[in-house]
């Protein structure tokens, strides 16, 4: 289990060796700016939902090596006692500017920037990338599912399929941030104050052998919360039995919530079930669908087929972001000791210096500028705001605030970028000041190197 993993040890070895090297050279305290951004848009995506800031700031606030950590670092066999003592003194004392969680971002735009002594800022690389990456991947996937459902309910059923526990917990949070309705994850529901939701498993029906008895017993106990799974043996027969049970319980004053379809042709099954439920006077019993669904299939069911489905449970595809599990996210040095820097590696060049992102009021495009530049247009919004000063967070990074941010952004985003398959590319242009700075840095690097 990972419960006792020291989070400050969640670094790549080279963060430590570089920090120690800087110290040996007397430069560990010199100011650096690192920028965390995504280089390229993953397939099918027209936007990314920035997430992970809350955990990133918590890591920075709590960073520090205690005696047990130092013993672990000593076991690496790489560091001298003197270096270990110095590592033990390190805390994160810097500043962070970031876009609030829930903000929609595009490639090249910093999600966060760290201003700190270079050793401290370097050590944060691995954890910050890990959390911002996975949470942005999952938040974006969840937003796509919400969009596909077009107002119908979507429930996170993914805990059994996420890549581990941490991903399952973070998914519960970011799915709620982008407006999913509930989660099956009990720990996530409790941690983040979310509605927990669930149905029944095939095993429950099989353990009874008798499907009708299984439905009856469950619905008697859980009433409106009950979602009767009708496909264990044969969906058509399952619907018949569910209707019988719903009618019998209605006579006793108990309302059943819904039935659930989990296999087969969901369109025809849902239409057939809806007709039969309605004919039985059970218009208030909903139809819930699950079984290998992703945003593409939900979109087909809702927009193409107009299937009479009230809610969707989404598991694997959401939990692993199946069509785009990775993100080309990086954490790059952009300034050091008062000097803007950049790498010019083939195909991987970066923009130098601390940044600001300006978004026009009409979402006609963003400008990637220097941090100290003025707004390029009246009414443009600066996306990066101070979130941490001197190692302490200075903004509310709670889920409620992130939800408000996301809803505002989501309502403003032009619909064309929500296309699930081939959205256009949102324009992000460098400012004149940033281009000038880049030219100056290149001239300097070529002269000096």
- The residues in 51-110 that bind a second copy, with binding defined as CB under 8 A, are 55, 58-59, 62, 72-73, 75-76, 78
Minimum distance of a second copy from residue 37's CB (angstroms): 14
- Strands (DSSP E) contained in 296-396 are 311-314, 329-336, 339-340, 355-359, 366-370, 381-382, 385-389, 392-393
What is the C-alpha to C-alpha distance for residues 318 and 43, in angstroms, rounded to an integer?
A: 15
Q: Which of 150, 201, 412, 440 binds a second copy (CB under 8 A)?
A: 201
Query: Are residues 393 and 57 in contact, defined by beta-carbon separation less than 8 angstroms?
Result: yes
Q: Does 424 bind a second copy (CB under 8 A)?
A: no
The site map against a second copy for 13-42 (x = CB under 8 A) is xxxxxx-xxx-xx-x--x-x-x--------
Residues with Cβ < 8 Å from 318, sequence gap 6 or more?
138, 141, 142, 145, 156, 157, 158, 171, 175, 294
Which residues in the 373-402 window bind a second copy by CB under 8 A?
A: none
* Helix or strand run (H / E) with residue 295: helix 295-299
Minimum distance of a second copy from residue 362's CB (angstroms): 35
Q: Does 338 bind a second copy (CB under 8 A)?
A: no
Minimum distance of a second copy from residue 381's CB (angstroms): 29
Query: Are residues 188 and 208 in contact, defined by beta-carbon separation less than 8 angstroms?
Result: no
What is the C-alpha to C-alpha distance for residues 352 and 125, in angstroms, rounded to an integer?
A: 18
Between helix 125-149 and helix 53-62 the angle, nearest 10°, is: 160
Minimum distance of a second copy from residue 274's CB (angstroms): 19
Within a 10 A sphere around the Cβ of 85, how many other Cβ atoms? 11
The site map against a second copy for 204-243 (x = CB under 8 A) is xxxx-xxx-----xx--xx--x-----xxxxx-x------
Considering the complex, state which of residue 93 and residue 126 has its C-beta at the smaller distance from a second copy: 126
Considering the complex, state which of residue 273 and residue 367 has its C-beta at the smaller distance from a second copy: 273
Residues with Cβ < 8 Å from 143, sequence gap 6 or more?
47, 49, 178, 179, 406, 410
Considering the complex, state which of residue 187 and residue 428 has its C-beta at the smaller distance from a second copy: 187
Task: Classify residue 342 by its DSSP letter.
Answer: -
Site size for a second copy (CB under 8 A): 124
Q: If 0-12 CB within 10 Å is exposed, 13-18 middle and 19+ buried, where does residue 447 land?
A: exposed
Considering the complex, state which of residue 90 and residue 134 has its C-beta at the smaller distance from a second copy: 134
Considering the complex, state which of residue 14 and residue 381 has its C-beta at the smaller distance from a second copy: 14
Name the segment binding a second copy (CB under 8 A); options: 119-127, 244-252, 271-279, 386-394. 119-127
Name the segment binding a second copy (CB under 8 A); options: 94-102, 103-111, 337-345, 373-381. 337-345
Considering the complex, state which of residue 162 and residue 380 has its C-beta at the smaller distance from a second copy: 162
Residue with tokens 């430069």: 27
Name the segment binding a second copy (CB under 8 A); options: 91-99, 345-353, 381-389, 396-404. 345-353
List the beta bridge partners of residue 336. 32, 339
Q: Does 2 bind a second copy (CB under 8 A)?
A: yes
Tokens of 173: 């949070």
Which residues in the 242-301 window bind a second copy by CB under 8 A?
A: 262-264, 291
Q: Does 43 bind a second copy (CB under 8 A)?
A: no
Considering the complex, state which of residue 77 and residue 151 has its C-beta at the smaller distance from a second copy: 77
Within a 10 A sphere around the Cβ of 26, how many other Cβ atoms? 8
Q: Which of 253, 338, 415, 448 binds a second copy (CB under 8 A)?
A: 448
Minimum distance of a second copy from residue 377's CB (angstroms): 32
The site map against a second copy for 152-181 (x = CB under 8 A) is -----x-xxxxxxxxxxxx-----------
DSSP code string of 62-120 = H----HHHHHHHHHTT---HHHHHHHHH-----EEEEPPTT-EE-TTS-SEEEEEEHHH
Q: Does 346 bind a second copy (CB under 8 A)?
A: yes
Q: Which of 103, 140, 153, 185 binds a second copy (CB under 8 A)?
A: 185
Minimum distance of a second copy from residue 389's CB (angstroms): 21
Which residues in the 355-374 window bind a second copy by CB under 8 A?
A: none
Q: If 0-12 CB within 10 Å is exposed, 13-18 middle and 19+ buried, where does residue 81 land?
A: exposed
Query: Are residues 352 and 438 in contact, defined by beta-carbon separation less than 8 angstroms?
Result: yes
Query: Are residues 376 and 404 in contact, defined by beta-carbon separation less than 8 angstroms?
Result: no
What is the C-alpha to C-alpha distance for residues 12 and 252, in angstroms, rounded to an integer?
A: 62
Considering the complex, state which of residue 6 and residue 381 has its C-beta at the smaller distance from a second copy: 6
What is the C-alpha to C-alpha distance for residues 446 and 354, in angstroms, rounded to an integer?
A: 21
């Amino acid at each position: 289990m990972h419960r006792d993993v020291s989070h400050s040890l969640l670094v790549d070895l080279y963060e430590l060796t570089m920090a120690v090297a800087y110290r040996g050279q007397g430069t560990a305290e010199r100011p650096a700016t690192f920028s965390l951004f995504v280089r390229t848009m993953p397939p099918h995506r027209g936007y990314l939902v920035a997430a992970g800031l809350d955990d990133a700031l918590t890591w920075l606030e709590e960073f520090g090596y205690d005696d047990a950590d130092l013993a672990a670092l000593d076991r690496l066999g790489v560091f001298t006692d003197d270096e270990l003592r110095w590592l033990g003194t390190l805390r994160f004392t810097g500043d962070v500017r970031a876009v609030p969680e829930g903000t929609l971002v595009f490639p090249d735009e910093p999600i966060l920037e760290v201003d700190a002594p270079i050793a401290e800022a370097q050590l944060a690389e691995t954890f910050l990338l890990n959390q911002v990456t996975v949470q942005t991947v999952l938040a974006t996937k969840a937003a796509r599912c919400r969009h596909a459902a077009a107002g119908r309910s979507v429930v996170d059923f993914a805990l059994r399929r996420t890549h581990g526990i941490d991903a399952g917990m973070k998914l519960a949070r970011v799915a709620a941030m982008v407006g999913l309705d509930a989660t099956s994850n009990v720990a996530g529901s409790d941690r983040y104050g979310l509605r927990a939701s669930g149905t029944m498993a095939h095993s429950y029906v099989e353990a009874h052998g008798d499907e009708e008895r299984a439905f009856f017993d469950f619905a008697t106990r859980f009433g409106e919360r009950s979602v009767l799974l009708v496909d264990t043996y044969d969906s058509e027969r399952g619907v018949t039995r569910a209707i019988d049970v719903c009618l019998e319980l209605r006579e006793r004053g108990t309302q059943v919530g819904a039935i659930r379809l989990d296999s087969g042709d969901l369109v025809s099954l849902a239409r057939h079930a809806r007709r039969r439920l309605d004919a039985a006077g059970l218009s208030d019993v909903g139809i819930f669908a699950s079984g290998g669904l992703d945003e593409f299939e939900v979109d087909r069911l809702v927009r193409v087929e107009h299937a009479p489905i009230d809610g969707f449970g989404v598991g694997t595809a959401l939990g692993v972001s199946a069509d785009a599990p990775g993100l080309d996210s990086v954490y790059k040095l952009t300034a050091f000791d008062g000097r803007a820097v950049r790498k010019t590696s083939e195909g991987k060049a970066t923009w130098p210096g601390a940044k600001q992102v300006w978004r026009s009021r009409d979402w006609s495009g963003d400008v990637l500028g220097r941090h100290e530049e003025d707004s390029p247009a009246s009414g443009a919004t600066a996306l990066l705001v101070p979130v941490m000063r001197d190692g302490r967070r200075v903004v509310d990074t709670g889920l409620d605030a992130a939800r408000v941010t996301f809803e505002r952004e989501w309502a403003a985003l032009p619909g064309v970028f929500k296309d699930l398959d081939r959205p256009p590319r949102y324009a992000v242009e460098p400012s004149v000041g940033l281009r000038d700075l880049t030219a100056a840095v290149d001239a300097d690097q070529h002269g000096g190197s």
